[in-house]
Amino acid sequence: MEFSSKRCCAATCTHTAQSLTDEGVAVRMHRFPADDGVANRWRQMLEIDLDIGAIRKMGLRPFNSTDGEPPQAEEQQTMPTANSSTNQGHAEQRSNNIIAQLRSKVRRQKTTIRQMQARIEKAKAVQSGSSSSIATRLMQQKIRRDVRSRGMRWTKKDIACSIQLHHKGSSAYRLVRNKWKIPLPSSSTIRRRIRQYFVLPGICNLTIRSLQSKFDASSTNQQRIATLCFDGMSLTPSLRYQQHRDVVVGCDPRTADDSKEQLPRPVNEAIVAVLRGVFQDWKQPIAYYPVFRTLGQEGFGIAIDECLTASHKAGIKVVALVADQESTQWAHLSRRADTANPFLRHPVTGEPVYVIVDIPHCLKNARNALMKNDIKFNECKLAKWQHLIQFYQNDSGPSLRLASKLTDAHFSLALGQKMKVSLAAQVLSHSVASGIRTLVHHNELSEDALQTAEFAKRLNDIFDMLNSAHLYGKGFQQPIHRDTLSAQIDRLTEAEDFVRSWRFLPLNGRAVKPTMPFKEGWLLSLSATKQLCTTLIRDHHFDYVCTRRFTQDHVENLFCIIRGHNGFNDRPELSSFVGALRSVAASGLAQPDSTSRNCEDDNCEAAIIAACAPTGAGD
């Protein structure tokens, strides 16, 4: 019997692929089953002379028979099958499935290519030494582990990465260097390098010279614009003798009175001055002042003028001064600036330097004031802390919660919890305000709680406006844009009117307080932000301004890095603080590793590191 791949395999069937196409009849041709035993029985019944192997080579796709018998040709020809449109639909579906599978395969191949390219670039970086990460530098040094470290010439990148590793722990550094035989600079080389920074309290001259070299004539005016931030860190009082200087370190060098002799007072706080770029994300500590309790109003004023003068010498234009409301600092700033003129004059250029109070501190102080006072706003409305407690009690059941982030820690603040910005932001938030309105609608809270919800919602919106961080933020979290400047300035003006209407009713029954320091801080910051953003957009040609750059987050992250020097040290001694500050300045450590820090990432890089600092003596 003659057999063809274009002809039906049934004995009495005369259909071929061409005849079916010409006649337009949707009849399927018979195919052999996949099982060889069943296929042989088909071959015998259909009287086909070819063996199964020859039939397989013709390319006929197998047909899975259920009863093991070949279909009758006559029945196949007369049996109605799916119409042509259905067959066409099945064909399109098969084609779409094949296309989807191929596209998925292409995506997987592209992912594999990207991963391989990243591995190739990493290998090239290790080979050439162009990467500055600690892991990459260690891999590079591991390749050279047979080379003795004594007598080697270290590049500036080698030293900078080694300082970062040494900052995390000197014991671990010695383990890597001595036990693992990884060629690294000796500890004396690292100490000799970092000792060039912050030799004495006050301005670090080496840092100023490095900034001057970085922001040379090729830098644009926008890149030079920065803020100057002051913040303090608590220290453990201690005294240490420095043999190479023949001095005792740990005493406040200032005198209590000009007519009296110098009194030895142990240092328990360090005030740090940090520059932070406004147009670009960079930061750099430039000065520190060890003090006993406080720097004082006069001392704080001198420190401001010193830092502004040094920054001007480095070619940096300081447009804003950021500080918290520490008593003496706030007394000095409130004397030199007010809501009508929220700035002080630059000691060199005479240009305005706008004064901004750290907004996260203002939010924490607002929460603390609400815990002790009922806050009256808009003349007739009253916000109460008790409404927030009642909302949490009603919402803390086992069912679906309206404010899932609230816990007992938000209302029973332990020692030190009042300093956490996240706890205050989560209580005075949009979700809590919406939850209160929902419970009032279901008669689970009194209607008076709606006033507390309005207070929390409006305060949350103001905080978002003064804490914008991303170009593509939504709603109140968007930065101040050139195109929407007037509308956003109007929002800030409405926020000023809202804050100005606050009155404080103490829960202990005392007299009403018309104002509190944090309220004045809100008003000063709102007024300064309006004028500063207008100046940056109109005079310095900014397209937008992210207001989070006017906060102290970058300084808080710096303190977190310092506390992580040689392990966790919440209140280091002065000598340990200075050593950690030197390591940060020399190595360019910018972001902390701790996951429980008080602030989010500021996304700033160090302006200078040891790799780009000029050689020579320090301060």
Question: 3-state SS of 253-298?
Answer: CCCCCCCCCCCCCECCEEEEEEEEECCCCEEEEEEEEEECCCCCHH
Considering the domain boundaries, does residue 524 fall inside one?
Answer: no
Q: Who wins on pLDDT, 295 or 567?
A: 295
Please count the other Cβ atoms lying within 10 Å of the Cβ belonging to residue 141: 24
pLDDT at 46 over 70: no
pLDDT of residue 415: 74
- Which of 81, 106, 126 terminates a domain? The answer is 81
Extract the tokens encoding 383.
């916000």
> Six-digit token pair at 151?
């007598």
Residue 440 sits in the same domain as residue 511: yes
Q: Is 186 helix (H, G, I), strand (E, B) or coil?
A: coil
How does residue 78 score in pLDDT terms, banded at 50, 70 and 90?
A: very low
Q: In this structure, are 257 and 150 located in the same domain?
A: no
Q: pLDDT tens for residues 384-436?
A: 999 999 999 999 887 889 999 999 999 988 877 888 888 999 999 999 999 99
- Total count of residues recorded for the chain: 619
Q: Find all residues with CB under 8 Å of 246, minimum gap 6, and list them.
A: none
pLDDT of residue 75: 42
What span, in angstroms and rounded, lies between the C-alpha atoms of 152 and 150?
A: 6
Instruction: Answer whether residue 290 shows pLDDT above 90.
Output: yes
What is the spatial distance between Cα 452 and Cα 433, in angstroms, rounded to a whole number? 8
Q: What percent of the chain has pLDDT over 70?
A: 78
| Judgement on whether residues 304 and 414 belong to the same structural domain of the protein | no
Q: How high is the pLDDT of residue 73?
A: 43
Phi, psi of 418 (to 5 degrees): -65, -15
Residue type at 557 in one-letter notation? N
In terms of domains, do 227 and 329 share one?
Answer: yes
**pLDDT value of position 148:** 60
Where residue 505 falls among pLDDT bands split at 50, 70, 90?
A: very high
- The tens digit of pLDDT for each residue in 363-376 reads 999 999 999 999 99
Smallest CA-to-CA distance from 386 within 427, 414, 423, 426 is with 427
Flag whether 122 is in a domain.
Answer: no
- Check residue 163 and report its DSSP letter: H
Determine the average pLDDT of the residues in 26-46.
65
What pLDDT score was predicted for residue 77?
41
Q: Is residue 262 part of a domain?
A: yes
- The larger pLDDT score, comparing residue 489 to residue 151, is at 489
Mean pLDDT (whole number) for 517-546: 96
What's the pLDDT at 65?
A: 47
pLDDT value for 310: 96
Q: Is the residue at 96 inside a domain?
A: no
Does pLDDT of 74 surpass 50? no
pLDDT of the residue at 10 = 56
Arithmetic mean of pLDDT, 120-144: 61
Q: Is the Cβ–Cβ distance between 396 and 388 less than 8 Å?
A: no
Q: Is residue 98 part of a domain?
A: no
Let me know if residue 265 belongs to a domain.
Answer: yes
What is the share, in percent, of the chain residues with pLDDT greater than 90? 48
Q: Which residues contact 278 (CB under 8 A, 6 or more apart)?
A: 225, 226, 227, 319, 320, 536, 545, 549
Confidence of residue 26 (pLDDT cuts 50, 70, 90): very low
Helix (H) or strand (E) holding 368: helix 359-372
Mean pLDDT of 294-323: 95
Q: Are 384 and 347 in contact (CB under 8 A)?
A: no
Tell me what percent of the chain is helix, strand and coil, each rounded to the nearest 5: 45, 10, 40
Mapped onto helix, strand or coil, the DSSP state of residue 286 is: strand
Residues 371 and 494 placed together within one structural domain of the fold: yes
**Residue 365 and residue 503 in one domain:** yes
Query: Of 81, 106, 121, which residue is a domain's last?
Result: 81
CA distances from 490 to 463, 469, 496, 513, 527 (A): 16, 20, 10, 28, 12
Residue 369, amino acid: A
Q: Judge whether 212 lies within some domain.
A: yes
7-21, 269-283, 298-312, 567-581, range with the lowest pLDDT: 7-21
Mean pLDDT taken over the chain? 83
Cα separation of 163 and 165, whole Å?
Answer: 5
**pLDDT at 8 (0 to 100):** 60
Does residue 11 carry a pLDDT above 70? no
**Joined tokens for residue 26:** 């949707």
Least confident of 67-81, 153-167, 309-323, 393-407: 67-81
Report which of 465, 463, 439, 464 is spatially closest to residue 452, judged by C-alpha positions.
439
Please say if the pLDDT value at position 514 is more than 70. yes
Determine contact, residues 359/325, Cβ cutoff 8 Å: no
Of 176, 194, 212, the domain-final residue: 194
Looking at residue 152, its pLDDT comes to 72
Instruction: Out of 415-424, 461-470, 476-485, pick the least confident.
Output: 415-424
pLDDT of 258 strictly over 50? no
Do 345 and 391 belong together in one domain?
no
Name the residue among 478, 455, 456, 460 with its Cα closest to residue 548.
478
- Nearest in space to 445 (alpha carbons), one of 390, 371, 370, 384: 390
Asked if 305 and 354 sit in the same domain, the reply is yes
| Gap between the Cα atoms of 520 and 550, Å rounded | 17
Looking at residues 438-458, what average pLDDT do you find?
Answer: 95
**Is residue 353 located within the same domain as residue 383?**
no
How many Cβ atoms from other residues are within 10 Å of residue 33's Cβ? 18
- Distance (Å, rounded) from C-alpha 282 to C-alpha 219? 14
pLDDT (average), residues 68-77: 47
Number of domains, the chain: 4
pLDDT at 68 over 80: no
Question: Smallest Cα–Cα separation from 304: which of 287, 281, 285, 324?
Answer: 287
Residue 537 lies in a domain: no
pLDDT at residue 61 tops 70: no
The pair phi, psi for residue 294, each rounded to 5°, is -150, 155
Long-range (24+ apart) CB contacts under 8 A made by 325-329 are 325/357, 325/361, 325/362, 325/365, 325/517, 325/518, 325/521, 326/232, 326/294, 327/294, 328/294, 328/295, 328/296, 328/297, 328/300, 329/230, 329/295, 329/300
Q: Which amino acid would we find at residue 161?
A: C
What is the arithmetic mean of pLDDT over 279-295? 92
**Which residues form the domain of 506?**
361-515
pLDDT at residue 110, rounded to an integer: 92
Q: Is 200 or 567 the better-scoring residue by pLDDT?
A: 200
Q: 226: closest CA among 340, 360, 328, 346?
A: 346
Q: How confident is the model at residue 597 (pLDDT cuts 50, 70, 90)?
A: low
Query: CA-CA distances (angstroms) from residue 495 to 151, 295, 365, 457?
Result: 64, 33, 17, 12
Enter the tokens of residue 2: 């003659």
Same domain, 455 and 557: no
pLDDT for 151 beyond 90: no
Tens-digit pLDDT profile for residues 481-495? 999 999 999 999 999
Is 49 found in the same domain as 139? no
Do residues 299 and 341 both lie within one domain?
A: yes
Q: What is the mean pLDDT of residues 237-263?
A: 72
The 3-state DSSP class for residue 413 equals coil
Residue 154 has pLDDT above 50, yes or no: yes
Radius of gyration of the chain measured on its C-alpha atoms? 37
Q: Which DSSP state fits 30?
A: P
